[in-house]
Every structure is written in C-alpha cells, then in structure tokens.
Amino acid sequence: MQHFPIFLDLADRKVVIAGSGAFALAKLRLLLKTEARLHLFAEAPEADLEATATAHGVTLIRRAPEAADLTGAALAYGAHGDAEADARLARLARAAGVLVNVVDNLEGSDFITPAIVDRDPVTIAIGTEGAAPVLARALKTDLEERLPQGLGPLARAGKLFRARAEALPQGRARRDFWADYYFRTGPEVLAEAGEELLDHALEALLREHLNAEPEPGRVDLVGAGPGDPELMTLKARRLLDSADVVIHDRLVPAAILELARREAEFIAVGKEGFGPSTPQDEINAHMIRHAAAGLRVVRLKGGDASVFGRLGEETEALTEAGIDWSVTPGITAASAAAAAIGASLTRRGRNSDLRLLTAQDVQGYADHDWRALARPGAVAAIYMGKRAARFVQGRLIMHSADADTPVTLVENVSRPDQRIVTATLGDLPATLAEAAFTGPVITLFGLAPAKAAAVLPALLEEFA
C-alpha cells in the first residue's frame, strides 16, 4: 500500500484550488461537499466555474497564486491542465508545507483523491493507487446502486446520539446496541415514520439495552475453509466479524484473519506435525477463560473443523466447563484439492467409498487398512503426508498396490500460490523431495488432474 487512506477534517480549514477550466470545476464540485474554506485562483475562469464559485460563496481570486496564498492551507489542488502552471503551484505548496494534488499527475502529487460514495456522514472512499481510475469508478457505481439513500439519515441521527449511548458498557454491549439500531430498528422506523422519529427510537432502544440481561459468552468453532476467503460460508464470515476473540490455527491465512474486527483479540495456537505446537489443554483454557468472561469467541480452524481438527476434544472441554458452543462447518482441503484438479472424489464404477486419512497421529506415522487402500480404483485424500510419503508408499506397495497408481499433490489449496504436482505411487517420495513444498499439502491418492487425463490421449495420438 503506497497511499495510506485517511479521512482529513477540513472543517473551517483553507483549501486552495488553482485553475480556470473543467479540471478546476470538477475539484471545486467535489470539495464543496466538505466544510472547508475554499480559495479558487483562476486568472480567466470559465463561465460554469465562476457561476459555481459565486453560487456557493467560494473566495475567487482572479490571478495566479503566490507564496503567501498557500500559508495555512490544509491542501492544494493544481487543476490548470497545464504542466508548467501546475508544477509552479506544487513548488509553492511544498515550500509552505502544504500537501498538493496535481490533476492527472500521480508522480507530481503528494496525495490522491479517491472515488467517493457519499451518504453523508457515511463516506466510502475507493482507491486504486492511481493505477485504474476506470475500475474505481465502476466500483463506485456498483456501491451507489447497492447502498440505500437512508444510510445518511440513520448515521446523522446516530452521530448526534453517540454520547448518550456511552451509558452502555464499552465493548460488546455498545456494539450490539448500534448493530440493533443500524440493521433493525433504525431502518424500520425510517421507513415507517421518517427521520424525525429516529431520536425517539434511539432513546427507546437504549432503555431496552440498558435493562437487558447481558448475554453469556460462547464459543463458535468455525471452519475457515482451505484458504481462499471466498470459500468461507456466509455464517463463518458473520461470526468472525462479530467475534471479540479469535483463536486461530497456523494454517489460517492473513487474508481470512483480515475479515475479523480490527479490535478483536487474536490468539495464534499453531500446530505443526513433528514441530512446535500449542498444547491442546492450553487451547481449551484460552477458549474457556474468554467465554467465561462473557466474550464471543471464534475458534477458527483451517478447512473443516470436524476433519482432523481435534473438534471432539475441544467441544468436550467446553461442555465440561459449562460453556455454550456451536460448530460451523467449512470446506475441507480434500474437496478443494479435488476441485482444483477438476476431479471427482467418487465415481461410479471406480470407487464406492472415499477415505480421508491423516498420515500421522500422536504416536507418529498412522497405520490404516492398507489392504483396502491398495485395491484398484481406491481413492484417498491424505492429510499431513509430506514427511510420511515413503512410509505410505511402502505400506501400499507391500499390500500389492500398483506402483503406477496416480497421485496428485496440491500445495496451498485454493490460495493464490496454489501448486499442483503429479506423481505416481512409485515415484512419490522422489517427486515430493524435488517439489520442495513449503506450504501445507493434500495428497490425492488414486486421482490425476482431469484436464491432463483428457489432453494426454489426444497428444499421444497426434505424435503416434
């Protein structure tokens, strides 16, 4: 992020605009939405520019700006459409310690003005680092269509009532009050009775929340999916957004943690096979302690919480401690990996069952029904199998599995750095070593990428 987005208070502060034509008019119209004292320097203002300035009481100076004119300004806009004139203004502004924006000149500007969706006092700013203004305008248009005009009145009433709402304890009680107002009570009153009764509705709602019994804390055990935030369920995203505390596994990427409230407390409880791990008792203690304090806790697990996620151990500990809990499933890595290679985990005539295996357990490498897995057509998704590849290969071949059985390795499933590597059972350890995976890998035994399977026969025929 090169340009850091902020909202600057311009109330009763001087802002300089220099230019005489369409560029200056566009900036003037935008800045008239603020409470700034606007000073327009235009040697020969075009008719629309002059009329707009006059109608809104803007200070119009019919000359080029001088050094003294920039003193005390908060911002300056070079809107001449002339490189030399804009460069002159930029030099004067910087000499006076004033941030300057030159229209259509990213390199010559200290800041950029974003595309804005205005529902005063709700303002949404859209920036693309100056790289794609057309995209910013498209996003603005989309948001303009989606956001109701009623947001403005709701927010204005809420802003005036904010001090009264401080009668509620800071934190969840206050957030619940405002959520109730903005997403239920406020819109209902606005639609049925109008803006004039919003203050009365807020007073009644405040009394209701002040007299309400505080909700007890709880834990939601949430599957974050394989890594792509778009693959999270709507319920998972909603729970994450409302959490006071997020206790997350090592495999949950930053892009998903970004969906939580910035004020939430984040506790990393990473686990890594044959590596550093947070003891399960410590994870249980974190959940119980925060929920017992009346907080909403999200225990965020990679993939699906019920697949090799120690879900049973955690729900048993919560039940024993008398903590209310719920499970929100997620997409497990096996499903996401199969989707990535365009393959079906089950298929008529090939396999009537599917096995989800972990290659290691608390004792080390995990043993399974290798004879069943070695049968032709068997399919298995193997979790945590990088270090156990030679062990898995040996057990399967020992039970007569075909060394040419296809194996597909998918690293960082569904993420931007996802990588797919094909192998056979016979060369699995060597392929893994050569691939030098650093991220989590799901091993799909008995499956090859569907596109490769479809293309290969055609290529063989072409070169026969």
Catalytic residue list = 249, 271
Element containing residue 16 per DSSP (H, E): strand 14-18
Is the Cβ–Cβ distance between 351 and 377 less than 8 Å? yes
If we measure between CA atoms, which residue out of 364, 343, 362 comes closest to residue 445?
Answer: 343
Amino acid at 31: L
Give the relative orientation of helices 280-292 and 311-320 as an angle to the nearest 10 degrees.
Answer: 40
Distance CA(442)–CA(453), nearest Å, equals: 20
Amino acid at 132: A
First vs last Cα of the chain: how many Å apart?
53
If we measure between CA atoms, which residue out of 146, 218, 154, 152 comes closest to residue 182?
Answer: 154
Helix (H, G, I), strand (E, B) or coil at 14: strand
- The number of C-alpha atoms within 13 Å of 188 and in the hemisphere containing its C-beta is 9
Helix (H, G, I), strand (E, B) or coil at 393: helix
If we measure between CA atoms, which residue out of 142, 215, 141, 204 comes closest to residue 172?
Answer: 215
Instruction: Read off the tokens for 418.
Output: 């996802």
**Residue that is written with structure tokens 């009668």 in the block:** 167
Peptide bond just before 121 cis, omega within 30 deg: yes
Distance CA(36)–CA(51), nearest Å, equals: 19
Helix (H, G, I), strand (E, B) or coil at 110: coil
Distance CA(46)–CA(353), nearest Å, equals: 77
Torsion of CA 171, 174, 178, 184, to 10 degrees: 110
Distance CA(383)–CA(373), nearest Å, equals: 15
Element containing residue 314 per DSSP (H, E): helix 311-320
Question: Taking the mean position of all CA atoms in its chain, how far away is CA 217?
Answer: 25
**Residue that is written with structure tokens 């407390």 in the block:** 265
Give the relative orientation of helices 22-31 and 47-55 as an angle to the nearest 10 degrees.
Answer: 20
Angle (CA) 183-188-192 rounded to 5° is 160
